[in-house]
Amino acid sequence: MDNISCNRNIVFLGTSLPRECGIATFTQDLLDQFAQIKGFNQPRIIAINNNNASYHYGEQVLREIDQENQADYTETAQYLNSSNVDLLVIQHEFGIYGGESGEYLIPFIEKLRIPYIAIFHTVLTKPSVKQRFIINKVAELAVKVVTMAQSTVKDLTSIYGIDTQKIAFIHHGVPYVQSESRAKLKEQYGFADRKILSTFGFLSPGKGIEYGIEAMRGVVKQHPEALYIIWGKTHPVVKLETGEVYRQKLIDLVEELDLQQNVLFVDKLLTQEEVIHSLVMSDIYMTPYLGKDQAVSGTLAYGVGYGRVIISTPYRYAEEMLAEGRGLLAQFRDSISLEACILQLLNNPAIVKEMEARTLELGKTMMWSEIAKTYAALFQEKIAISELANRSVI
């Protein structure tokens, strides 16, 4: 990487677009914001490839690592040590690095001679011995670790024994996309006069969409204009392992309940603009997920960022983000509970308006333009401290 004037060189390690992965989107969104931040050259990415896949990366990718090729990790560490990279940012998720629970990352960080920050996208409350070891080691050698939920700050200290001084809490970022009003978007998409409920993201059995569909059976009796839109294609890993079994199960359920006019599937990988449009036109956004320990949800963060009224099951991130009247929590695996929450909102427009205002107040602080500034300040601080520590004392 070229060093222009005194600008800092930052490299991210993780997945990269066009690989279909939430972390890849997260990284690209953050990189895009750095184009507007002074003091940095355009950051680059070291991309982790899966299953010997080959992706047509853009110029943002500096190097590639095959997930299960240990030699790639060693060579990349050596490359970074001899480069002018000032800071590495490791996007950590157990499923993207090689070996058991991603253990190939450990010898890589042990060989590094440049400072790194780790962003933990998942913090398990009941880790295996191997998972606990990996998180501990990644944190031990990092100059800082970042988590995206307040609840996980406590977990990193109590479960993993990480010093609170080493942990930074930074919200999951949300991209800003200018769009038309809700009414105009509904008209544009052909949903005028409909009450829109929506869920977006990769489809997989853990999303609990079947409970949202079952809830619609009771909702439409009072609100026949209600339409539940399920945006997104099947998760690529799920599709590889089981094909479209889950999606077909949901389609069959819709037909069984005679909800063809009230449930719509949009089976495609959404553009960023389409994601935001889907949110802005929604009267209610839903995440009826099944996993109660889910510490962060990018899709829920997007819903909060755009001030939607949200109905969710009470997984950890939802409990935190929907506190103080920013949404409603339904019980896990309970369509009747979801139905009651939906009807409470559809029958009380004043409550919806109040909730949207509360949610948007938090959402404004989560735009990538603001979150990137926080990361930039953290990067500058840790680079400066590292340089000071490496100076020779005469």
Instruction: Please provide the average confidence, as pLDDT, over all residues in the chain.
Output: 95
CATH 3.40.50.2000 fits 10-173+367-390, yes or no: yes
Dig out the tokens for 114 from the structure: 């440049």
Q: What pLDDT shows up at residue 233?
A: 96
Q: Is the pLDDT of residue 381 over 60?
A: yes
**Distance (Å, whole) CA 25 – CA 46:** 14
pLDDT per position as a tens digit, 305-330: 999 999 999 999 999 999 999 999 99
Angle between helices 209-222 and 335-346 (to 10 degrees): 50
The percent of residues above 90 in pLDDT, for the chain, comes to 92
- What is the arithmetic mean of pLDDT over 380-386? 94
Q: pTM of the prediction? A: 0.91
Backbone angles phi, psi at 225, to 5 degrees: -80, -5
Higher pLDDT, 2 or 149: 149
pLDDT per position as a tens digit, 35-89: 899 999 999 999 999 987 789 999 999 999 999 999 999 999 999 999 999 999 9
- What is the arithmetic mean of pLDDT over 102-111? 98
- Domain span(s) for CATH 3.40.50.2000 in the chain: 10-173+367-390, 182-365
Q: What pLDDT shows up at residue 393?
A: 44
pLDDT per position as a tens digit, 277-286: 999 999 999 9
**Distance (Å, whole) CA 112 – CA 287:** 39
pLDDT per position as a tens digit, 331-347: 999 999 999 999 999 99
- What is the arithmetic mean of pLDDT over 10-27? 95
Closest by CA position to 92, among listed 300, 236, 295: 295
Q: Is the pLDDT of residue 10 over 60?
A: yes
Helix, strand or coil, per DSSP, at residue 256: helix
Q: Where does 182-365 sit in CATH, by number?
A: 3.40.50.2000
- Helix (H) / strand (E) element for 88: namely strand 87-92
